[in-house]
Amino acid sequence: MLIDEFLSDYDFVEKHGISIQAGPADIYRAANETDFAESFIIRSLFWLRGLSTENVTLASLKTSRFEILGETANRELLLGLVGRFWTPWGDLKKIDAESFKKFDTAGYAKAVWNFALRPDGEATRLTTETRIRCLGSECRRSFGFYWLFIRPFSGLIRMEMLRAIKRKAENGVEVAI
């Protein structure tokens, strides 16, 4: 999987998943087309963090310095981010796939976030996994403290995203949440 290629060694992880009664192509399309700003929860949490709250799609997350590191159509999409997430403005670095792999400046953290599909009986399982690698012990302590408070909200955003994708894939239309 792409996530293993980009960040096989990590300090923190969070995983979520949902079964969807649709094929991988429909789910993958829904994941790329869903406007997550339709969710009051996502919109509110993004607003609190100072992120864009209009037309929030996987592709538009690039405006927040998330980069698409890799993609295997109908199977996996991988986003990445480098910064000091625990600071007020995040000190986010501009990266691409190659610079993400090579980045090793102490005091920063590297994060990957994927959406992956696999068969699940009659359905398809859509999972999301977030991995964080801290570059240095001080970074690990700072991020760990930050993660203690942010993790529940991070998980809530991801579960909301999975539910929105499920609705769109199963119904063929977005439903405001």
Mean pLDDT of the chain: 93
Question: Is the per-residue pLDDT at 96 higher than 80?
Answer: yes
Query: What is the per-residue pLDDT across 8-23, written as a single tens digit (0 to 9) for each?
Result: 999 999 999 999 999 9
Q: What is the DSSP string of 94-156?
A: P--HHHHHH---TT-EEEEEEEEEEEETTEEEEEEEEEEEESSHHHHHHHHHHHHHHHHHHHH
Q: Is the pLDDT of residue 132 over 70?
A: yes
Write down the domain spans for the chain: 2-171
Q: Tell me what percent of the residues of the chain surpass a pLDDT of 90.
A: 84
- pTM value is 0.92
CATH number of 2-171: 3.30.530
Amino acid occupying residue 52: S
Report whether pLDDT(173) > 70. no
- pLDDT tens for residues 27-60? 999 999 999 999 999 999 988 888 888 899 998 8
